[in-house]
Structure 1
Amino acid sequence: MHLSAPRTHAHKHARARRLTPLSYHVVVTASGKENFITHTPVSAPFQLYKWFSCVLRDTYKKVCCCCCSLVNAAATAAAAKTDQGRKLQEVLRQLSDVKDSVQFNEKMLSSPPENIEDCCCLSALECFRANMQVHLNVTGRKLHKLLRSLKNPLTLSGLDSCKSGNDTLTCHDCDSHPKVNVQEFFNRLESLIQRAISRLVMD
């Protein structure tokens, strides 16, 4: 009866090493001696896990940056609309002060209509401002403050309601608008400012 020799502890380790593939590379020292350095290769599932983690981390960073940009843009737009609305309310108060200082005589002024197209609001505003500056005999700080406010960037941006694609519309020259009396002139300017305020509130 043939008896096999019992497997030693060293045999078990030798088999374990054979089951786990090893790779090695040679390092040559300064003395010329070769040293073999072995390592166990990383498994494919682990490499896939590391790659997927990197992709998720990068995606998360991009999404966070995008969300922060959108929030900042929305906050900036909301603040701009608030400033525009306040400035237009100030224009209405200054306009009321000027109306109280003007005698409504028979003078006739070119005035844009109340139903002016959105893309012509700035042109209409300039027409009102030019007519007041040239034809109204109002002196003092009240008219000066109103004329200055009508040129303010916040006033201009608040009235700029021209949507993209409609900016090719040709607006009428100021002198081509029909002439109205001074009271109607101020009423139409007031209507234009109130229209811009309402639009800011609705947007």
Structure 2
Amino acid sequence: MKTVFSFVLCALLAMTYWAETAHAITPKDMLQVAIRQVTQLKIMKQTDSLFHSPTNGIEECCARSALECFNSQMLNIPTSNKELQNKLHKTLRKNMTVTSVDRCTVEEKARVKCQPCNSYPMIDSHEFMKNLLSLLQKAFILLP
């Protein structure tokens, strides 16, 4: 009985210590992770692969839609580092990442008609990744 009590006490102390020292992930942290993953992902040279890419001129209230467009094609980007590619895909899907790029109110979004992904111009994978990086950096700068 004393052993079980000691174990429970140690577990509670460990959880308390972890809760006190754990770093809460902020939206800026999440965007920094995504930006780092994009810059680390090495794209293989392939001229026959083209992707629909939102450009730098997307409407502010369409940033969420643009992020979803990028992410819908992410796993098709030619790279030798599939593990990092999968991590980036998951990071871009996370709610905190999505809400970090989406700075508009419901009313503002209702007034804007965002382009469907397949209406964006087709570009090569290097430009695609540059445009994604630009979107993430812009969202990072706009966060408080």
TM-score interval w.r.t. the shorter chain? 0.7 to 0.9
Partner residue in 2 for 1:128: 70
Instruction: Name the structure where helix makes up a greater proportion of residues.
Output: 2
Figure out how many residues of one structure are paired with residues of the other and give that number.
118
Letter in 1 for 2:94: N
Structure 1 residues 84-103: aligned runs within 5 Å: 84-98=27-41, 100=42, 102-103=43-44
Segments of structure 2 that go 5 or more residues without pairing to the other structure are 1-23
How far, CA to CA, are the matches of 2:130 and 2:83 in structure 1? 21
1:144-196 CA distances to partner (integer Å, 9 max, x unpaired)?
11000001111011111113531121111101101111111111000000000
2:122 counterpart of 1:179: yes
Letter in 1 for 2:118: D
Partner residue in 1 for 2:99: 157
User: After TM superposition, what 4+ stretches of structure 1 lie above 6 angstroms from structure 2?
Assistant: none
Say which structure, 1 or 2, has more relative contact order (CA 8 Å, 6+ apart): 2
Q: TM-score of the superposition, structure 2-length normalised?
A: 0.75
| Aligned-CA RMSD value | 1.7
Structure 1 residues 182-193: aligned runs within 5 Å: 182-193=125-136
Segments of structure 1 that go 5 or more residues without pairing to the other structure are 1-79
Name the SS of the counterpart of 2:108 in structure 1.
coil
2:59 counterpart of 1:117: yes
Contact 2:44/2:78 (<8 A) preserved = no
Q: TM-score of the superposition, structure 1-length normalised?
A: 0.54
Contact 2:78/2:125 (<8 A) preserved = no
Letter in 2 for 1:144: N
How far, CA to CA, are the matches of 2:104 and 2:136 in structure 1? 15
1:107-132 CA distances to partner (integer Å, 9 max, x unpaired)?
21110111211111111001111112
How far, CA to CA, are the matches of 2:30 and 2:142 in structure 1? 14
Letter in 1 for 2:55: P
Name the SS of the counterpart of 1:166 in structure 2.
helix
How far, CA to CA, are the matches of 2:77 and 2:85 in structure 1? 9
How far, CA to CA, are the matches of 2:77 and 2:126 in structure 1? 12
How far, CA to CA, are the matches of 1:122 and 1:154 in structure 2? 12
**Higher Rg of the two aligned structures:** 1
